[in-house]
Amino acid sequence: MNNLIKSLFISGVLSLSFSSCTLDGETQNPDSVLAQIGGPQTPACGFVQVLTDEMIVGVQFPKGKYQINVFNMACEEVMGDKGLFNQFLQLGNDDPLPAPWIYLKDAIGAPKFVKSTNVGFRVQRVGD
């Protein structure tokens, strides 16, 4: 019984510690943003066919079919000829992303682009 009470106490303290941590939505620290972003909204916005090998902020995007998922933004902002992904593909190989956008180089899984905590999109190559 004593161990059960200790476990519950430790769990409660950890829960309080985590719930009291917040992050300013305007941060530009990729590590901080990475720690705070949620998963993408489902279903996916759709697919984009990249016709030639491209680079965005020094990261290679080989030609192929990419699935686009957004988190806390509209698909229309990312998809299409005037969408953000196409705008980013039009940048020079080593050009920076337009402010306030950043690329999360240490993100696990598909490449992710964010403009603030919990707002952004990911692109995942799904075929040729």
The DSSP-derived string for 38-68 is -PPPSS--EEEEE-S-EEETTEEE-SEEEEE
CB–CB of 104/113 below 8 Å?
Answer: yes
CB–CB of 110/124 below 8 Å?
Answer: yes
Q: What is the pLDDT of residue 73?
A: 96
- Give, for all 128 residues of the chain, the pLDDT tens digit: 444 444 433 333 323 323 222 233 333 444 444 444 455 556 899 999 999 999 999 999 999 999 999 999 999 999 999 999 999 999 998 899 999 999 998 888 888 999 998 999 999 999 99
